[in-house]
Amino acid sequence: MNPHGGRSAGAATAPAANREVLLGFFGVFRYSRRAVQLVWETNRALLLAMALLTLAAGLLPAAVAWIGAQIVDAVVYARNAAGHNAVRVLRLVLLEGCLVAGVAGAQRGLSLCQALLRAQLGQRVNVMILEKALTLELQHFEDSEFYDKLTRARREASSRPLSLVMRTFGLTQNAISLLSYAVLLVRFSPWTMLVLLVAGLPAFVAEAKFSGDAFRLFRWRSPETRMQVYLETVLAREDHVKEVKLFGLGPRLLQRYRDIFTRLYREDRALAIRRDSWGFALSLLATATLYGAYAWIALSTIRERITLGQMTMYLLLFRQGQGAVSAILSAVGGMYEDNLYLSTLYEYLETPVTTPVGSAPRGPLPSDGVRFEHVSFTYPGAAEPALSDIDLHLTPGCSLALVGENGSGKTTLIKLLTRLYSPDSGRILIDGLPLPEWSEDALRARIGVIFQDFTRYQMLVGENVGAGDERYFEDEQRWHDAAEKGRAADFIQQLPRGYRTQLGKWFKDGQELSGGQWQKIALARAFMRIDADILVLDEPTAAMDARAEAEIFEHFRTLARDRITILISHRFSTVRMADQIAVLNYGRIIEKGSHEQLMAEGGHYAQLFALQARGYR
């Protein structure tokens, strides 16, 4: 299996695909060990109980068969010896009954352990997936191939470790049974074992091949499955319903959803038909073998090579032996399949993350502020750079406004400053220390950002404010102060349960807010970071009117006197208040200076300003 190939597997040529199957096949036990380890870490007691029950369930059937033979022979003997051994027969029958009850008990016990483990293991794997998600970087989530990995891991992998472990146990159980049958069967003829194995092998090879095919289908399809999940979201979630209804998009999107299914179903059906036709043909082979052996055993009895009791035993052993062989083979086939699926889980869990190396809590020049030096950046896979050769210097107490058309790189600049992405060339320094050298926590404490697409948590109003500083997430006093500063306090007090009002429509009694109200919440969130000395507002006031925005920015500046404020806005009435204005165009800074300087220059800024001012007149 190709551990790196997202879609590359799809392009694999036939020999390469065969090699993949082979490699994967010999790697069958690679993930089995990890799956057992995972279960061991999840619940040792249950795993041990399962091991013991497996042993019991493996040994008991042979014992039952052996006692069965004793019973028949004891009956035959008792009839010939005129009734002397009836007690012995009854005792054997009782013993067999107990053993059969034991088998049933062991199987029930196994399924109980399995049910309990399934729940615990599912939760554990999901937590592992989410924990990993926390360590990933923004760019991972924006990368569709990576997203496919995540989707695949989430969809299948939580049930696969248990399945793999169950199959490993099933395999052991059947192997133990088979071994115990073998001990009894070789007394009839050593060839019987060979017959059993040879009859099962073709079915096994076919099964392994089809498992591989099914897995490759699953892998290629991730983009389509993801589209289906996405369409489900768009069609049935409150934040999309409004548009879908008014634009009448429903039927069209539903049709797309259906089309994807039809396409996938066609492939599924073809595979299922092939799998089951071959399965049936090969099972005929197995039946023929069984009945051949039946005839052989019957003839041996007629020739009095074996007793009647032995005949019943051998027939039973043979039948069960064949069951065990096919169970073993299908367990190995299933393990192969589980391993393939688990490989997607581990592929995801082992996605390399570049752990920030820095550990410095402060820089050497505390009053140097923020510097961008010849910073350039291109998004992975993009043809054009989003930022080119950016130079900026902001000292404490300074406010900067970023101006430019949509797509000119304003948000990207903020993403680089907050280390969500790293520049391809050039460097960014805070207090004279390059960003990569800062410790994660120190950096986070220094910078407060509100993005234009800030998150609307479906939680309490207060928590929505508190989210701005995780340490005070539940601190009511801080909620109040921050809401006051963000001008959100007035409307929050009007809400039915004040700061403890549930927001959003997903949960009971959830309140919806207007766009402007949400923005006030977001602003309040920015004010939670009272010790952050670099504050960034990326158009969080766009839904407010121009006057409210200007007022808020003014207020923001007074509160943030010794700090660095960076503001992105399309409103020149606000922009003009900033100490420095940088005009971005296609990722470059084309003009920089104060409002007065830029107006005097009569360049791009002056033109845009005049244009907007005319609009207001």
Does position 219 interact with ligand ADP (CB under 6 A)? The reply is no
Q: Do the beta carbons of residue 110 and residue 127 sit within 8 Å?
A: no
Among the residue ranges 288-296, 404-412, 529-537, 592-600, the one whose residues contact ligand ADP (CB under 6 A): 404-412
Q: Which of 29, 379, 457, 491 binds ligand ADP (CB under 6 A)?
A: 379
Does position 389 interact with ligand ADP (CB under 6 A)? The reply is no
Q: Do the beta carbons of residue 42 and residue 124 sit within 8 Å?
A: yes
Residue closer to ligand ADP (CB basis): 411 or 565: 411
Residue closer to ligand ADP (CB basis): 357 or 382: 382
Among the residue ranges 358-366, 379-387, 480-488, 518-526, the one whose residues contact ligand ADP (CB under 6 A): 379-387
Does position 382 interact with ligand ADP (CB under 6 A)? The reply is yes
Residue closer to ligand ADP (CB basis): 80 or 406: 406
Residue closer to ligand ADP (CB basis): 188 or 553: 553
CA separation for the pair 18, 33 (Å, rounded)? 24
Residues between 410 and 469 that touch ligand ADP (CB under 6 A): 410-412
Residue 457 region by backbone torsions, left for phi larger than 0, else alpha for psi between -120 and 50, else beta:
beta
Residues between 167 and 186 that touch ligand ADP (CB under 6 A): none
Residue closer to ligand ADP (CB basis): 77 or 379: 379
Shortest approach of ligand ADP to residue 230 CB, angstroms?
17
Residue closer to ligand ADP (CB basis): 301 or 452: 452
Among the residue ranges 14-22, 378-386, 498-506, 607-615, the one whose residues contact ligand ADP (CB under 6 A): 378-386
Shortest approach of ligand ADP to residue 379 CB, angstroms?
3
Among the residue ranges 40-48, 121-129, 406-414, 424-432, the one whose residues contact ligand ADP (CB under 6 A): 406-414
Shortest approach of ligand ADP to residue 409 CB, angstroms?
4
Shortest approach of ligand ADP to residue 269 CB, angstroms?
38
| Helix (H) or strand (E) run with residue 331 in it | helix 308-349
Hey, what are 368's tokens?
A: 């140097």
CA separation for the pair 60, 66 (Å, rounded)? 10
SS (H, E, C) 204-220: HHHHHHHHHHHHHHHHH
CA separation for the pair 432, 99 (Å, rounded)? 79
Quote helix, strand, coil % in the chain, to nearest 5. Answer: 65, 10, 25
Among the residue ranges 334-342, 408-416, 443-451, 570-578, the one whose residues contact ligand ADP (CB under 6 A): 408-416
Closest of 525, 524, 527, 498 to residue 511, by C-alpha:
498
Residue closer to ligand ADP (CB basis): 284 or 382: 382
Q: Which of 6, 409, 462, 486 binds ligand ADP (CB under 6 A)?
A: 409
Count CB atoms within 10 A of the CB of residue 204. Answer: 19
Shortest approach of ligand ADP to residue 406 CB, angstroms?
4
Closest of 306, 307, 309 to residue 89, by C-alpha:
309
Residue type, position 86, single letter:
A
Residue closer to ligand ADP (CB basis): 110 or 582: 582
Residues between 330 and 359 that touch ligand ADP (CB under 6 A): none
Residue closer to ligand ADP (CB basis): 384 or 509: 384
Residues between 134 and 153 that touch ligand ADP (CB under 6 A): 142
SS (H, E, C) 126-193: HHHHHHHHHHCCHHHHCCHHHHHHHHHHHHHCCCHHHHHHHHHHHHHHHHHHHHHHHHHHCCCCCHHH
Does position 408 interact with ligand ADP (CB under 6 A)? The reply is yes
Q: Which of 178, 386, 521, 522 binds ligand ADP (CB under 6 A)?
A: 386
Shortest approach of ligand ADP to residue 385 CB, angstroms?
9
Going across the sheet that includes 447-450, the strands are 447-450, 534-538, 564-568, 399-404, 580-585, 588-593
Q: Spell out the residues 6+ positions from residue 519 whose beta carbon is closer than 8 angstroms to its own.
A: 540, 541, 542, 543, 544
Residue closer to ligand ADP (CB basis): 142 or 579: 142
Per DSSP, the chain holds a count of helices (H) and strands (E) of: 23, 10
CA separation for the pair 484, 504 (Å, rounded)? 22
Among the residue ranges 296-304, 402-410, 488-496, 554-562, the one whose residues contact ligand ADP (CB under 6 A): 402-410
Pairing of strands 433-434, 399-404: unpaired
CA separation for the pair 307, 311 (Å, rounded)? 6
Q: Which of 80, 262, 406, 558 binds ligand ADP (CB under 6 A)?
A: 406
Does position 404 interact with ligand ADP (CB under 6 A)? The reply is yes
Residue closer to ligand ADP (CB basis): 234 or 542: 542
Count CB atoms within 10 A of the CB of residue 130. Answer: 10
Residue closer to ligand ADP (CB basis): 88 or 226: 226
CA separation for the pair 427, 542 (Å, rounded)? 31
Shortest approach of ligand ADP to residue 434 CB, angstroms?
22
Write out the residues near ligand ADP by the rule CB under 6 A. Answer: 142, 379, 382, 386, 404, 406-412
